[in-house]
Structure 1
Amino acid sequence: MRADTAPRLCLGGVMHARHWPVMHRFAYPLAWVRLPLSRLHEAGNVLFGVERARLFSFRYRDHGARDGSPLLPWIRALLAQHGLAEACNGEVVLQTFPRLMGFVFNPVSFWFCHDRAGVLRAVLCEVNNTFGERHNYLVAHPDARPIVSGDSFRSSKVFHVSPFFPVRGEYRFRFAERGSVASVAIDLFDAGRHQLTTRMSGRAEALSAPGLMRVALRFPFMTLGVVARIHWQALKLFLKRVPFHRKPVPPLKETTS
């Protein structure tokens, strides 16, 4: 898996399927961006602003340290803390939802960390819940060897996301690319049982004003819709009498690796 060094707009969708204690599945079309952090200055156009107000925008304060500081030094420091500075010394591509009319909520963003040859070596999964909390899951091979399509990474679940799942079990992450199509698979297992399947897949194209206009016309409430759909699906689970779990105290550590 190699770095795409140009800003991209991705058109695709997300699917969630709960397998226990009831079956519950939904899928929605969506769009997101993939931004090489060393080339953020090239991403702007009349509809997309980096630290500028546009119909679509990207703000540093939505990621990383959340204080508006540049993102590349932040992710470099985090990788160094986890012994990945040498392996991940190339481009970092951030996959995330942009702000639309100033609003955004990102259930999860992905930082794809490459070496100087453009080969993927680590991925930071930046998770947010609707309570304003966040946690990072950093995945890489123990020897930091290249990540290839289909490699599986395991990480203990330590962060509260949905009140309809307890904070326990194990995530399994997989990343794949085929041509211009990139996908992420996240599965949750608990006590040997497959609890949840999540898939996010999209086709990349140039991050252009015409492409963004098509997205705005097709999904005029895209980012607000993410939050609305979360609550709509939560209501459905409540009506199905899925057990409810109160939110625990968030983990002290910011990143799990």
Structure 2
Amino acid sequence: MEVPRFASGLYVGSVMHHRVKPVRHRLSYRVFSLLADLDELPRLDRELRLFAHNHFGLIGFHDRDFGPLGGESPLPPREREIRDLKGWAEGQLAAAGIEGGGPVRLLCFPRVLGFVFNPLCVWFCHRRDGTLAAIIHEVSNTFGQRHAYLIPAAAGPDGLVRQHCDKRFYVSPFMDMETAYHFRIRPPGGQAGERLAISIRQTDAEGPVLHASLTAERVELSDGAILRAWARHPLMTAKVVAGIHWEALHLWRKGLAIRPRPPAPVHPVTVVRGADLTNIAPTRS
């Protein structure tokens, strides 16, 4: 089997949301995502003409869009720009008592012509031997806030990672806070043409409320692949943001009441240990 040029890659597929109560509502749209190996970002910037790291490009990756480097970070703007994302992730693992030291790969929507909004980014954090140690689920809302759930990870015999946590962060104005997330993930392995699958089931005390999923196929990262993905989805960021508000309008018209927005969690990362959740302050790396 031919070794891929990069551990990073594009994943082309679709996002689906299916709300089952108190009203039924479903949406689905095509997207492409970037799996960015954080160690490779300088190399991607050098070798790909259509990819940009921390500057303008057709598609790009800006450090300040993730982790503690933007949103409500207490760091001054200049310090946000120079903080190392992998160092931040390793610091969070160490503070949680989880072994790291291996690759950190971040699945996200890339910037498209300088613009991006990521409802969910998934950080795959590995040990030195390459095995998956933890996943950081980083959630953003349309109010400029961001929060992350750090959960230890181990694949089962079927290759799937199963995780769960209680909701701690306000996302949709039409969703109660007293719910839980149940994740089922087929992590990326880096093989050409592989299938990536992320499924999220949101439940309340009475059962399922929402099912969401991302299914995608890996495309090797090249200028040609970038150009083809952009040509199929030239306004992807605008589509994501517009879609969120359009679907919110539909939910409001179906009679759902807007839930009040509580303050964001004091600390930007919630560490999940089994069924127990402990908030920790961000580490300095």
* TM-score when normalising by structure 2: 0.83
Name the SS for the 1:43 alignment partner: helix
Q: Distance in 2 between matches of 1:24 and 1:43?
A: 40
1:106-145 correspondence runs (5 A): 106-140=118-152
Partner of 1:162: 172
Distance in structure 1 (CA, Å) of the matches to 2:187 and 2:115: 29
2:39 partner SS: helix
Residue type at the aligned position of 1:211:
A
- Alignment pair present for 1:204 and 2:214: no
1:249 to 2:280 alignment? no
Give the SS at the match of 1:202: strand
Q: Secondary structure at the match of 1:38?
A: helix
- Return the offset for 1:243: 2.3
Q: 1:147 aligns with which of 155, 159, 163?
A: 155
Q: Could you say what secondary structure the match of 1:197 adopts? A: strand
Alpha-carbon RMSD across the aligned residues, in angstroms, is: 1.5
Q: How many residues align?
A: 248
Range with bigger deviation, 242-251 or 219-228: 242-251
Correspondence 1:100 to 2:101: no
SS in 2 for 1:241: coil
Please list the CA deviations of residues 73-119 of structure 1 after superposition, one character each: whole Å capped at 9, or x if unmatched: 111111111111x2x22111011111111110000101001122222
CA distance in 2, matches of 1:81, 1:234: 37
CA contact (8 A) 2:155 2:161 kept: yes
Question: Take 2:248 and 2:101, find their aligned partners in 1: how far apart are those partners?
Answer: 41
Match of 1:56 among 59, 63, 79: 59
Cα offsets for 1:10-29 (capped at 9, x unmatched): 10111000010011011101
Please report how far the alpha carbon of residue 185 of structure 1 lies from its aligned counterpart in structure 2 after TM superposition: 0.9
CA offsets 1:16-63 (integer angstroms, 9 cap, x no match) = 000100110111010010011112122221111112221111111111
Alignment of 1:232-243 (within 5 A): 232-243=246-257
The code of the aligned residue for 1:134 comes to: R
Paired with 1:191 and 1:243, the residues of 2 have a C-alpha distance of: 19
CA spacing shift, 1:147–1:121, aligned 2, 3 Å: farther
* Aligned partner (choices 147, 171, 186) of residue 176 of structure 1: 186
Alpha-carbon distance in structure 2 between the residues aligned to 1:162 and 1:110:
19
**What is the one-letter code of the residue matched to 2:66?**
H
1:223 partnered with 2:223: no
- Give unmatched runs, 5+ long, in structure 2: 70-79, 273-285
Measured against aligned partners, the alpha-carbon deviations of 1:207-249 in whole angstroms (never above 9, x if no partner) come to 1111111111111110121100000000000110112212111
Runs of 4+ in 1 over 3 A off after TM superposition: none
- Tell me the secondary structure at the aligned position of residue 102 of structure 2: coil
Alignment check: 8 A CA contact 2:68 2:268 kept:
no
In structure 1, how many angstroms separate the alpha carbons of the residues matched to 2:206 and 2:43? 46
Which of 64, 84, 93 pairs up with 1:70? 84
- What is residue 29 of structure 1 aligned with on the other side? 30
2:280 corresponds in structure 1 to none
Q: Deviations over 1:101-149 (max 9, x none)?
A: 11100001010011222221210001000000011011115xxxx3343
Structure 2 letter corresponding to 1:60: D
Q: 1:46, 1:172 → 2: CA distance? A: 39
Amino acid at match of 1:248: P
1:7–1:42 CA contact under 8 A, matched in 2: no
Q: Name which of 188, 191, 201 aligns with 1:187.
A: 201
Deviation at 1:177, TM superposition (A): 4.7
